[in-house]
A and B are shown apart, each in its own frame.
Chain A
Amino acid sequence: MKFAASLAFAAAALITTAAHAQTTNVKIGVLTDMSSLYADATGPGSVAAAKLAVQDFDPAAHNMKVDIVVADHQNKPDIGSNIARQWFDVDHVDAIVDVPNSGVALAVSDVTREKNKVFLVSGAAISDLTGPKCSPNTIHWTYDTWMLANSTGKSVVKTGGDTWFFLTSDYAFGHALERDTTAVVLANGGKVLGHVAHPLNNQDFSSYLLQAQASKAKIIGLANAGGDTINAIKQGAEFGITAGGQHFAGLLVFISDVQALGLKTAQGLVLTETFYWDMNDATRAWTKRWQVDRPGKFPTMNQAGVYSAVLHYLKAVAALKSADDGKAVVAEMKKLPTDDPLFGNGIVRADGRKIHPAYLFEVKSPAESKYPGDDYKLRATIPADQAFRPMKDDNCPLVSG
């Protein structure tokens, strides 16, 4: 009796799997910061972007079923890696996307490689992800610290900012950004007069700003992001930093930061993003759709990157008809050229670096801004082949080894 029942069960299972054999099931996990200092630059906006990508891909047309799950890593590597592990082991997630916070991204990259799944980094910046920590399962999508240093950093040095003091967020991202920018400053004849590290998600910058002021450096390089950058700039005003002749260099600034600071405070800031919502008709049209979920906000490059990465990922899975082998999917993503309305045409390099142009923007003054969101004016375009670190300088085992 029991034997017959289990036989029947097995038969039923076989039949159902046979019936579903043609539909590829894909689960994508958006692991992001939903509640802390990076929530505005990524967070719910990244989720909205991922959903748009699935919509535009049209899974039914490819005989696929795509699910999205979301989690908040709270900027803690242990929480992030535990979620990743559980997602891969228990919940059958095939790919993780976004992950702002480079410390968490490094941990998630390890887990992804161990489980042979796919990791599409949009939020994190650390250039080591295509360097010594590169992985056949990870693609670094939107930007990285090398790009920021060589765009914003170089432009500031070239316009006379030759003495620097760094205010650095004390974790992987801050140190990497400081490292990469220092290299650029020194290579262009500048000097670094000092640095101080502050805790992540710091609220009170007064003592750090005082040290920066005492250094008399022309440029105070903000090797931090999100809420930390906003706080540092705001409190700098309280201590008369700019009045004293020093300038802030916002090494990583998103449009969400500019919106939070307001144009009056942020005007004149020079920054680099690889996406701007008001760039062309395609980006404007996409932004309108994105704003349905996020009224009154404007998408950052991270959020646009999530869209672009998910779209390309799904195309690769469709080509392979399976999402099971992470390495294979990533290899396919490197084979296929990328094409989406937000970043245009591009490629994914062998080291996992997505290549597209970078844009140097300057924040408009309140007088120059004609409508909400009209925050940037374009200062320079860095072509795709120059925007990112050349592969030969990577130190990536995938390329050299």
Chain B
Amino acid sequence: MFEIFGIPSQAMFAQLLLGLINGSFYALLSLGLAVIFGMLNIINFTHGAQYMMGAFVAYMLLQYLGVNYWAALVIVPILVGLTGILIERVLLQRIQKLDHLYGLILTFGLALIIEGLFRDYYGSSGQPYDVPDALQGGHNLGFMFLPNYRAWVIGFSLVVCFGTWFAIERTRLGSYLRAATENPTLVRAFGINVPRMVTLTYGFGVGLAALAGVMAAPIYNVSPQMGSDIIIVVFAVVVIGGMGSIMGAILTGFTLGIVEGLTKVFFPEASNTVIFFIMIIVLLVRPAGFFGRSA
């Protein structure tokens, strides 16, 4: 145990770890938002509610059907992703031609509906979701105590984030996606079913949010407000990073999580708001964001 700037190393690294975990969720969620925005040009306000749905569906699967965490990791993103596809087909396609702000308002309304329904049924207090047995406990690393589950969250998020980046930037399917974003008509002319790609992309983005929700369930408790609380921070992350690139979204998410963790150590009162402060500074100095193209 040693000290850094007067703070015991254990406290410092523990908070950094928490920051990294928050960062994992910021990265996953801003990645989902970036993917959806890239293809549909919509800011999916419902993203937070879909993250919350992921956590709740995992909870319900465990509670009512005895389905465990590992199965939930696979099933829940598919289930919630399907609801996303439904939303895209039935609602979002209709407003494609309108001003993009209507998309924001519509998805905002959807978020209210979903949160209201869950709040009505489950109340606004949280439901417990236990850490899966295989990941219980932790290791004492000497300079800090590392709970197993939290280490898993960081590791798995990194895998998912980079997997997504790889799929979009380095595979053929990803290249079709990127081309369709740039010039849908031309890509269609090549015989590629663009509307279906758009729908599936939205579903994928939603699935990412739901996956984040499942991973969050044992850490943050499953409550109906968890989505709206986090999504606004993710918006700030997205503004800071700029919507231009997938890698940008991932890096910004993790970095800001770490910054938040560090702030908790040295200046705890400001930790909730530090990301917003950074957003203000970035806006004044570099409005397009770190990785963004000029809007």
Contacts and interface: CB of A to CB of B under 8 A. Distances in A.
Interface of A: 34-37, 39, 74, 196, 201, 203-204, 206-207, 210-211, 213-214, 226-227, 231, 234, 238-240
B223 A207 contact: no
A35 B128 CA distance: 16
A295 B268 CA distance: 44
Contacts of A210: 11, 14-15, 18
Majority secondary structure of chain B interface residues (helix, strand, loop or mixed): mixed
Given A201-B124, A207-B15, A238-B131, A35 B119 contact: yes
Nearest to B131: A238
Interface string B132-146: 000000100000010
B83 interface: no
Nearest to B140: A240
7 contacts: A201-B125, A203-B221, A213-B11, A227-B125, A227-B126, A231-B126, A239-B145
B11 A214 contact: yes
Among B18, B126, B131, B226, the most chain A Cβ lie within 10 Å of the Cβ of B126
Nearest to A216: B8
Among A34, A74, A207, A239, the most chain B Cβ lie within 10 Å of the Cβ of A207
Contact of B124 (A74, A196, A204, A211): A74
Contacts of B10: 214
Contacts of B138: 240
Contact of A35 (B124, B131, B220): B124
Contact of B125 (A39, A204, A214): A39
B126 A203 contact: yes
Nearest to A74: B124
Contacts of B126: 203, 227, 231
A277 B14 CA distance: 42
Given A201-B125, A206-B18, 11 more contacts: A36-B125, A37-B125, A39-B125, A203-B220, A203-B223, A204-B219, A207-B15, A210-B14, A213-B11, A227-B126, A238-B131
Nearest to A230: B128
Nearest to A39: B123
Contacts of A204: 219-221
B126 to A, nearest CB: 5
B128 A234 contact: yes
B226 to A, nearest CB: 7
Interface of B: 8, 10-11, 14-15, 18, 119, 123-126, 128, 131, 138, 145, 147, 219-221, 223, 226, 264, 268, 271
A170 to B, nearest CB: 11
Nearest to B144: A210
Contacts of A226: 125
A385 to B, nearest CB: 37
Contacts of A238: 131, 147
Contact of A211 (B11, B147, B220, B221): B11
B125 A207 contact: no
Contacts of A203: 126, 220-221, 223, 226
Given A207-B15, A210-B14, A211-B11, A36 B264 contact: no
Among B18, B119, B124, B223, the most chain A Cβ lie within 10 Å of the Cβ of B124
A211 B147 CA distance: 16
Nearest to B128: A234
Among A37, A196, A210, the most chain B Cβ lie within 10 Å of the Cβ of A210
A231 B128 CA distance: 9
A10 B162 CA distance: 81
Contacts of A206: 18, 219
B287 to A, nearest CB: 32
Contacts of B147: 238-239
Contacts of B123: 34-36, 39
B18 A207 contact: yes
Contacts of A35: 119, 123-125
Contacts of A240: 138, 145
A201 B226 CA distance: 11
Nearest to A227: B125
A210 B147 CA distance: 13
Contacts of B219: 204, 206
A391 B216 CA distance: 49
Among A39, A74, A203, A213, the most chain B Cβ lie within 10 Å of the Cβ of A203
Contacts of B271: 207
A212 B224 CA distance: 28
Contacts of A39: 123, 125
A238 B125 CA distance: 20
A207 B18 CA distance: 7
A207 B147 CA distance: 13
A334 B210 CA distance: 57
Nearest to B272: A199
Contacts of A196: 268
A148 to B, nearest CB: 22
Nearest to A214: B11
A133 to B, nearest CB: 27
A214 B119 CA distance: 36
Contacts of A231: 126, 221
B125 to A, nearest CB: 4
A207 B14 CA distance: 8
Contacts of B220: 203-204
Nearest to B8: A214
A273 to B, nearest CB: 21
Report the 9 A-B pairs with minimum CB-CB distance, sorted nearest first.
Answer: A203-B221, A35-B123, A214-B11, A227-B125, A37-B125, A36-B124, A203-B126, A210-B14, A204-B220
